[in-house]
Structure 1
Amino acid sequence: MTFRSPRRLFLSTLAFAALVQFGGCATPTAGPSNALNVATQRADLSTFTQLVNQAGLNDVLTGSAPVTVFAPDNAAFKAVPASTLDKLAKDPVALKALLMHHIVAGTTDRASLKSDSTVATTMGAGKVTIAKAGDFVTVDESLVTQADLRASNGVVHVIDRVLTAPKK
């Protein structure tokens, strides 16, 4: 009996020491990713994220300033005539302007919207009308199909149409 007691004491002490030593080494749970990473994690936003990269707008969506992103899904981009997408691919200024029309400074989530419409200024200096009617939210003529994808620097909303940038 005396043999088992020191052995139990030793094993208990060893187990306790292991818990103390390795218990604090767990990787902390990460908070939400930035807006670009949130969009990149969704397969249905691959065209949007590819164009953001092409336009050099990564810093806008990964920065610390809060943003609301209205990201058109892949089906929305497929509805745009191929000739228009080809022109945008060859004109980085126009591509950047179009994408900046999908980004609003600050965080606008579904809960912050009233049951009427709000006009917001985009980072492309245009205006969009955000409207809420019951469970439905629209941005200009586009329906928000997935709202409130939380990001560390704001929120991403998936929309079903590409917003038209204002003419200059």
Structure 2
Amino acid sequence: MTVFRSFTALVLSTALGTTAMAANPMVGGAAMFEEKNIVENAVNSADHTTLVAAVKAAGLVDTLAGPGPFTVFAPVNAAFAALPDGTVETLLKPENKDLLVKVLTAHVVPGDWSAATIAAKANASPDGFYHFKAVSGDALSAQVKGRNVYIYDESGNAARVTIADVDQSNGVIHVVDGVLVPK
């Protein structure tokens, strides 16, 4: 079993363009440190300024800095910019805080889920998808296509994992290129 897990991790790491047992990857031009929590690392990523602003506006800083563990599918700024004009600005308004919390928690899963584990579960599934629930209560699905892992929301929108397994003291971040939209 351990040999299988190691092999799966090595294959997935190679497929995702990372090296097994390597140091934490750089994200947004900043080093990510395993001894720091999700928020402490995210604030240093130039690629996640929109996400950090949204987490602050939603009042989720203390939660995501808490003990967890959490798996966060963290959209980059370009993913938020690809939403229809005015979407981010509307979500950041105080009167839309509940909706903002729902959108953000649709990107968070309880537990510490490595990309290798997610991919192995998807590959072992008869339909090729691993189905799981976000903290928001929304359904997410993972699928492996070629060398990539994709996360889907309930509407079928896909976010590709671009940087996997960014370990944190309270979980793991997987950088994604899309925003998951809850129903």
Task: Report the TM range for the smaller structure's normalisation.
Answer: 0.7 to 0.9
SS in structure 2 opposite 1:82? coil
Structure 1 moving runs of 4+ over 2 Å: 132-135
* Superposed displacement of residue 84, structure 1: 1.7
Per the alignment, do residues 126 and 31 of structure 1 end up closer, same or farther by CA in structure 2, a change over 3 Å counting? closer
- Residues 1:92 and 2:97 aligned together: yes
Equivalent position of 2:29 in the other structure: none
SS in structure 2 opposite 1:123? coil
> Cα deviation per residue 1:40-59 (whole Å; 9 max; x = unaligned)?
22110111011101100012
Equivalent position of 2:67 in the other structure: 64
Equivalent position of 2:80 in the other structure: 77
Instruction: Answer whether contact 2:34 2:167 (CA < 8 A) is retained.
Output: no
Q: Select 1:127's aligned residue among 121, 127, 139.
A: 139
Q: Percent identity?
A: 35
Instruction: Answer whether contact 2:66 2:170 (CA < 8 A) is retained.
Output: yes
Instruction: Answer whether contact 1:39 1:156 (CA < 8 A) is retained.
Output: no
- Residues 1:106 and 2:114 aligned together: no
TM-score by length of 1: 0.77
Structure number with greater Rg is: 1
Q: Which one has a larger percent helix, Structure 1 or Structure 2? A: 1
SS in structure 2 opposite 1:130? strand
Equivalent position of 1:52 in the other structure: 55
CA RMSD, Structure 1 to Structure 2 (Å): 1.4
SS in structure 2 opposite 1:51? helix
Which consecutive residues of structure 1, in runs of 5 or more, have no partner in the other structure? 1-29
Letter paired with 2:182: A
Equivalent position of 2:27 in the other structure: none
Tell me how far apart the structure 2 counterparts of residues 96 and 31 of structure 1 sit (CA, whole Å). Answer: 26
TM-score by length of 2: 0.71
Per the alignment, do residues 158 and 117 of structure 1 end up closer, same or farther by CA in structure 2, a change over 3 Å counting? same
Tell me how far apart the structure 2 counterparts of residues 125 and 85 of structure 1 sit (CA, whole Å). Answer: 22
